[in-house]
Structure 1
Amino acid sequence: MKNSPLLIFTISFIIFIMPMATTYSQHVISATEIVKRADENMRGNTSEADITIKIIRPTWSREMNMKAWSKGDDYSMILITSPAKEKGTVFLKRDKEVWNWIPSIERNIKLPPSMMSQSWMGTDFTNDDLVKEASSITDYDHKLLGKETISKKDCYKIEMIPKPSAAIVWEKVIVWIDVKEFLQLKAEFYDEDGELVNTMNSSEVQEIGGRKITSKIEMFPVDKEGNSTVIMYNDIIFDKPIQDNFFTTRNMKQLK
């Protein structure tokens, strides 16, 4: 009996798609893994950054410059370098503790969890947004909502719900992460009533420090028209060794 052309075609097609199906299954990625990869893109094992922050209001604006260091999820340090009024102010995160050195009074203050939702240095970011007491990976449950296009890029749309044990002010956060390069391009922050409070947009993808990052981050409070805060990464060095003892309250007073 001769083989039917249709049968030969069917068998050939099945053989052809089998490796494709296997490859696809190997590349299925969870919402948590997507968030983790986006976080690692901007953080690295360690990072040392030069940053400018611009606070924009309807009738005025001002700039701050700062240096920032991080190591993994547990350590971060921020030093304000200008303007003169805030110069020398330092924020330190060690594990779940956050400290603030205020040079004008020569005093180190430990920030309680209740202060993490307050404005950071008069910006539209919270203390937690900048100092990162909460982990976007371990302190949230993640759910993939689908895909959407942001700035002409295909993105994963992910809902992040704080775990009951996490001291986080937001009821939920929705993030959009680029499918190809795992860069977070947008985030929305919702309060306990389910109302949208802040929208954060990330743009100007550049290769800095040997990797692609979004070098411009803008935060817009929904109910304050004309208000925004812009973070610009001027330079960043990734994966340069930093000892744990750099991130100490003692070292906060010595940074320059």
Structure 2
Amino acid sequence: MRKKIVAGNWKMNKLMDEAVALTSELVNMANDEVKSDVKVILCPPAIYLTTINKYIESAPNFSLAAQNCSDKVSGAFTGEISAAMLQSIGVEYVLIGHSERRQYFNEDNALLAEKVNTALANGISPIFCCGESLDQRQNEDYIGFVKNQISESLFHLTAEQLQSVVIAYEPIWAIGTGLTASAEQAQDMHAALRAHLADKYGKEVAEEISILYGGSVTAASAAELFASPDIDGGLVGGASLKSREFTNIIKAR
């Protein structure tokens, strides 16, 4: 049975003392309120990874993720961070293909496939992000568009490798636009993506892959979303910066 996963992407937010305070609050709240069948993944800015890891290493529900990694193994790539470096400090997961990386840094499916490869080669599980814009949703085969993101970046993997990948669906059109994706719309896309995985790898493998919803999840919307059969948790942005709000999302059933 797939485990529920709630990942908090802090993006470029929080100073060091704020990051430590948030982590301490989350760990304490989780110890008191969160069931052990939920995996909580924190995605702080890279500069805080080592510090945050010290605060969560004894918390059984928590794991650490980086927000990005290089597609290169090592070398003269100033400012980049390799998957091997992340693995060496205890990082277990890495976000790959987040909509902001695609939009602002022009990361395409071929580059993301290389990032997936180097993460897996270093024992790090990719949280592979995919999703469509408002224009794509209105004017294109948006399900086909998202399926193609998965095909071009993940379908070179073996079934065994794929089982180390988490997928996060981001309806970009519903993030910061005033529009809202209903639980039904989210479930429809998640089901389509799981069927796409099954077409390539078989139903048994597809049923083992966690697919998270990343469309402005809040404590108010989490329970309905997480009750959907193909939604296995959330990739949470702004709400993950508030300890009570994020804890309530983690607790949602």
TM-score in terms of structure 2 length: 0.35
| Larger strand percent | 1
Q: Which of structures 1 and 2 has the bigger CA Rg?
A: 1
TM-score in terms of structure 1 length: 0.35
| Larger helix percent | 2
